[in-house]
């Protein structure tokens, strides 16, 4: 039996692989690129293949929380891909967006909160980093818990230059977790954030008393 204490057993690691320069298949908000990949195995063999990757890059996301009121600030926003996949394009989400050139994930998180829910967090606390869909997208996300004053949240928000319209919602924490258990929401960032919250809820005061990622 493998020793569960082995530190590298359950850790991502570099691959012995050669990747060609990209061929652009389509240009758009995100470019679609094709790569020729040669993956070498421990027994000396090589597996060659073509891989198409949607180039999204670094993104940031925030679960805004008002502990004093016991509320989260979620948003409702239309997503064309969700509409095509399920017929339910009006998704419940958390704040999320791209990390622009020259920004850190925390700086981008602060900016996105102002744009999407109309308030700036007093502090951010990093939850974790993850790859939403590594089979086809190079998107790399940093997820934060952000402390906010929910009383300042407007009815409508969104960045006009990005042609987005978000409708912020103040939701009791219990209501959000109950909806998670019922499976009525399908945005992956939201689901992961709420699962983290449910797992760590008993020690939120200690987490928020620690060193924040940004203010």
pTM: 0.89
- State how beta strands 140-147 and 58-66 pair: parallel
Q: Are residues 50 and 66 in contact, defined by beta-carbon separation less than 8 angstroms? A: no
127 backbone dihedrals φ, ψ, rounded to 5°:
-85, -65
pLDDT tens for each residue of 139-177: 999 999 999 999 999 877 766 555 667 789 999 999 999
Q: Label residue 43 exposed, middle or buried (CB < 10 Å: 0-12, 13-18, 19+).
A: exposed
Residue 74: per-residue pLDDT: 97
Q: b vs e for 60-90, b when ≥16 Cβ sit within 10 Å of the residue's Cβ?
A: bbbbbbbeeeebbbbbebebeebeeeeeeee
pLDDT tens for each residue of 90-122: 999 999 999 999 999 999 999 999 999 999 999
Is the model more confident about 82 or about 7?
82
Band (pLDDT 50/70/90 cuts) for residue 212 is confident
Residue 4: per-residue pLDDT: 61
pLDDT tens for each residue of 20-38: 999 999 999 999 999 999 9
Task: Using DSSP, state whether 121 is helix, strand or coil.
Answer: coil
């Amino acid at each position: 039996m493998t020793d569960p204490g082995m530190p590298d057993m359950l850790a991502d690691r570099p691959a012995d692989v050669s990747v060609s320069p990209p061929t652009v298949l389509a240009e758009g908000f995100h470019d679609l690129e094709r790569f020729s990949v040669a993956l070498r195995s421990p027994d000396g063999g090589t597996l060659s293949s073509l891989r198409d990757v949607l180039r999204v890059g670094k993104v940031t996301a925030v679960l805004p929380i008002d502990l004093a009121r016991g509320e989260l600030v979620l948003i409702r926003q239309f997503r064309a891909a969700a509409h095509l996949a399920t017929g339910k394009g009006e998704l419940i989400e958390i704040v999320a967006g791209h990390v622009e050139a020259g920004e850190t994930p925390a700086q981008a998180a602060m900016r996105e909160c102002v744009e999407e829910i109309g308030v700036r967090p007093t502090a951010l606390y990093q939850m974790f980093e993850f790859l939403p869909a590594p089979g086809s997208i190079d998107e790399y996300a940093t997820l934060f818990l952000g402390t906010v004053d929910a009383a300042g949240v407007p009815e409508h928000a969104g960045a006009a230059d990005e042609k987005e319209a978000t409708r912020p919602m103040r939701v009791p924490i219990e209501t959000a977790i109950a909806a998670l258990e019922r499976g009525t929401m399908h945005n992956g960032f939201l689901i992961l954030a709420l699962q983290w919250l449910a797992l760590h809820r008993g020690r939120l005061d200690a987490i928020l008393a620690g060193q924040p990622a940004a203010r």
